[in-house]
Structure 1
Amino acid sequence: LGRQVIITHEPERIVSAAPSITEILFAIGAGDKVVGVDEYSNYPPVVRELVKNGTIEVIGGFSTINIEKIALLRPDVVFLTTGIQEKFIKELVSMGITVYVLSDKSIEDVFTDILVIGVIVNKADNAVKLVEELKARLMKTYLIVHEYLNKTNTQTLKVYFEVYPDYWTIGRDSFINDIIVLAGGKNIFSDVETPYFPASPEEIIIRNPDVILTTAMYGSFGPPENLVDRIKSREGWSNITSVKEGRIYVFKGALEDIMVRPGPRVVIAVEVLARVLYPRAFNISSIPNVIDDSVVKSWGIRLTDGVGELSCIMGSAPETVVLENT
């Protein structure tokens, strides 16, 4: 973005305009400084409680934040994400509000976001510790999968992730592409740079995914089983490998957020997806088409295992932090 952001003191009042940012703030122990969040911020669970009792105000939707509400909260810093939220920078800055914009095109971006936020809110030690823990967990899963692929001479599975009906999917510049890769798969549209775009159904047929993934969309399109049938019944899709082999999976419940949110829980997304793609590598006999919290729990993965709920204390803030917002 080419912006230089100067932080002159430790922020005491923070506004987060994205659920992933809210998760990061709470994960590094800065949740007590949050005074405003977007309407989709729902993790850790205490966020909803704080909204309900009035400690935290809702400042609007992800793409429809209310500038006036933010101003009334008198924030020391507002965290936005790149893309659609960049349109709010100019007006917020013109009101004398400090704004820092975070990128989430890759999992490496997510780690950078955690570290940068840690510096800004004076939780750098916590941020470093969290990133180290997340990287260790990711590496553990990655090694299990690749050892399995090498030992069994199993081909890397081709994955199509439909983030929204009909045919909206992800390209190389989406952190979800990284989730697929770290889980041992290959995004069928990894040659496309655009993070999110509508693919043509004909092109999906040609690329012939081994596995199709989507989320339950919070019930917007009926029960998750309906989504499986909807995909199966698409014209010309009966010959796609994933359809023929019944490998169409819908994520439900907490996983609807986890699988598509660029925050600390990306590690859980990778752990879950690795088991979906290569169940035998984890001694799992079969995978249901609808994957919810109870299914994942039976695999030994806890969806509320402390990721996003760290609470630690650090010393005083530096006098001035100068950060280049690039």
Structure 2
Amino acid sequence: MVKLKGLIAILGWMLIVAPASASRVCATDDLGEKVCLDRPATRIAALSPGATELAWAAGAGDQVVAVVAYSDYPPAAREVTSVGSHTRMDMERLLQLRPDLVIGWVTGNPSEQLATLKKVGIPVFSIEPRSFEAVSHTIERLSVLAGTETEGFAEAEHFRQGIAGLRTQFENADPVSVFYQVWDEPLMTVNGEHLIGEMIQLCGGANVFGHLDRLVPRISAEAVVAADPEAILAGGMGEENRHWLARWQNFPSLTATARDNLFFIPPSLVQRPTPRMLVGTRLFCDKLEVARDRRSDGVHL
């Protein structure tokens, strides 16, 4: 890692004090810190794939100059310079791109690297949306910092209304016990406080591990068998990789397996807190509807 003195040299351009102007913008991030800019950001670094999507959703895609690995949506994001992974950025490369705003990930980015960015004078806006409403609010706050309020607030409201419509549609749906597999090795799921937990609840699902304390708890296959969910939904290591579901075929006594309620969900649609969760939630709800229909159809495969 480049020493702090070297970073400051790279950022000499930032040490010039600019006068405050009427275009000064401020927003409070998810750490409760107020971030203020003398003018809307024009050179944004998004340090997670989700942050990249949210920047575009806020109408600020043209202002993004740096992303990290797996920032693949929208397609235009693939053309932006990558500065490493969300767990380890190339700080020298990042600073050479002269960002005037960094969108950080509270629990995903190394805290010491974010602290270094702040120390050399770069504003860091830390995000971690943990509810559907928080996704909309994050888009709105980013659009304020980027000066793209018209587009950003419209996108936030579109997402908000779409989720509200789904909530109304499924508010009286018969419960379906659900296991959502967020990772394979080690086997991991989500609890009821997680955003995906909110998705499960909205669709009329009952998360069999919703009571656990950890947001993303590790579990065992034996625990899944004991819980005997009616439906199992999983993503995978890619948008078309369904192999995580194959292991459950080895447990024919599971209700989910016996009824063929083993459903693949493209992970980027549910595991990134972005407006595409509206598409993912619709898909999730549709899968639980299939599970409900198979009760009456007597499907036991």
- Same fold at TM > 0.5: yes
Paired positions, count: 263
Aligned to 1:122: 147
Q: Does 1:174 align with 2:194?
A: yes
Q: Does 1:270 align with 2:289?
A: no
Q: Does 1:160 align with 2:179?
A: yes
Matches within 5 A, 1:173-192: 173-192=193-212
Listed as ranges, the gaps of 5+ residues in structure 2 are 1-30
Aligned to 1:104: 129
Contact 1:80/1:86 (<8 A) preserved: no
Contact 2:68/2:84 (<8 A) preserved: yes
Contact 1:59/1:65 (<8 A) preserved: yes
Aligned to 1:305: none
Q: Does 1:77 align with 2:101?
A: yes
Identify if the C-alpha distance between structure 1 residues 279 and 205 changes in structure 2 by more than 3 Å, giving closer, same or farther.
Answer: closer
User: C-alpha offsets along residues 135-162 of structure 1, whole Å, 9 cap, x if unaligned?
Assistant: 2211222222235x2xxxxx30111111
1:21 shift after superposition: 1.5
1:15 shift after superposition: 0.4
Secondary structure class of the residue paired with 2:109:
helix
Matches within 5 A, 1:206-285: 206-218=226-238, 224=242, 226-233=243-250, 237-251=251-265, 255-279=266-290
Contact 1:25/1:31 (<8 A) preserved: yes
Contact 1:82/1:104 (<8 A) preserved: no
Distance, in Å, in 1 between the alignment partners of 2:150 and 2:118 is: 29
Distance, in Å, in 1 between the alignment partners of 2:171 and 2:184 is: 32
TM-score (norm. length: structure 2): 0.80
Distance, in Å, in 2 between the alignment partners of 1:98 and 1:168 is: 34
User: C-alpha offsets along residues 46-99 of structure 1, whole Å, 9 cap, x if unaligned?
Assistant: 222xx2xxxx21011121222211111100000011113151221111222111
* Aligned with 2:81 (options 34, 57, 61): 57
Secondary structure class of the residue paired with 1:46:
helix
Distance, in Å, in 2 between the alignment partners of 1:188 and 1:178 is: 13
Segments ≥4 residues shifted beyond 6 Å: none
1:281 shift after superposition: 8.9
Contact 1:212/1:249 (<8 A) preserved: yes
- What's the % identity of the aligned pairs? 24
Secondary structure class of the residue paired with 1:197:
coil
Identify if the C-alpha distance between structure 1 residues 280 and 201 changes in structure 2 by more than 3 Å, giving closer, same or farther.
Answer: closer
Aligned to 1:309: none
Distance, in Å, in 2 between the alignment partners of 1:194 and 1:269 is: 23
Aligned to 1:42: 72
Secondary structure class of the residue paired with 2:189:
strand
Instruction: Name which structure has the greater RCO, CA cutoff 8 Å, separation 6+.
Output: 1
Distance, in Å, in 1 between the alignment partners of 2:118 and 2:241 is: 43
Question: Which residue type is aligned with residue 90 of structure 1?
Answer: A
Identify if the C-alpha distance between structure 1 residues 223 and 191 changes in structure 2 by more than 3 Å, giving closer, same or farther.
Answer: closer
Aligned to 1:200: 220
Question: Which residue type is aligned with residue 84 of structure 1?
Answer: G
TM-score (norm. length: structure 1): 0.74
Secondary structure class of the residue paired with 1:146:
coil
Listed as ranges, the gaps of 5+ residues in structure 1 are 150-154, 287-326
Aligned to 1:28: 58
Secondary structure class of the residue paired with 2:212:
coil
Aligned to 1:93: 118
Contact 1:59/1:69 (<8 A) preserved: yes
Distance, in Å, in 1 between the alignment partners of 2:32 and 2:245 is: 44
Greater radius of gyration (CA): 2
Aligned to 2:158: 133
Question: Which residue type is aligned with residue 44 of structure 2?
Answer: I
Contact 1:275/1:281 (<8 A) preserved: no
